[in-house]
Amino acid sequence: MIRRYSFPNLLTWLAPVLALAVAGCQTDSVPGPQSGADYFPLEVGRYRIYAVSDTLWTNFQRTATSYQFREMITDRINDATGQPGYRIVRAKRMLPTDLWRDDSVMFVAATDNALLLTRNNRRSVELVFPVQPDRSWNMYAFSLVDTALYTMNLDNRRYQDVAQPFAASAGGKTYRYDQTLTTALVVNNNNAYGADDDYYRSTYEQVYAKGVGPVYRARRRFSYCPEQVGSCKRSNTRIYKGRTLVEVLIEQGKM
């Protein structure tokens, strides 16, 4: 079935972190397609354009905006640690007729074990290889500050819907992909990043298409009550404050 979308203790914690860090530094080779690396092709000149729906809630008031992001692989370089990878420049425009303006810079590196993304001086584990259904991992294994927050649940990302078709819509057009995988947030009510209860909700989903890369992203963080009020519930259907950010790939190619 095609899914459719519209717009513990310290020692226990350190062991998997160090294991992943060591594994990621063992080789500079690029993993082969059989590992799942072809869900995020890395090639200088490749670009992807996303239609973005951005909705904010403040004091129960909703404000919605739309714009576009373009992510382009501009260079193959080494990061500050000597790890080879690719520089990705993200640009933004409000209307398709506007000029692109650079918004941020990212660095992506693929090892035999993982795909690593560095943004704002923080490295995250976006994918782990080989790709396997229901496999989970700690996205912040390289960030000691972030990982410390996950003492109750080290695995905060997981694979779901591996090698499945997917469809997403934007601007009245539907984009279909035959083979995709989805990474999703592991919900855990004991940490602020993955809570999902009557008062708060935080979800994350990113879909990758084989041979294309990320084709859909959705991040949602809601609070259903003012902090000083503890009697309201999600059944009220009103959002006190929060944000929903949805990105749908609408164009991709190589310059």
Q: What domains can be seen in the chain, in order of their start residue?
A: 3-254 (2.40.360)
pLDDT for res 231: 62
Q: Each residue of 185-237: pLDDT tens digit? A: 876 544 444 556 667 788 899 999 999 999 999 999 988 887 666 666 666 66
Q: What is the pTM of this model?
A: 0.81
CA 88-142-121 angle, 5° bins: 45
* Beta carbons of 108 and 123 less than 8 angstroms apart: no
Q: Give 234's strand partners.
A: none
Q: Is the pLDDT of residue 94 over 60?
A: yes
Q: Each residue of 4-29: pLDDT tens digit? A: 555 533 333 333 443 444 344 444 45
- Residue in the structure block whose two tokens are 């949602």: 220
Q: How far is CA 58 from the centre of its chain?
A: 24
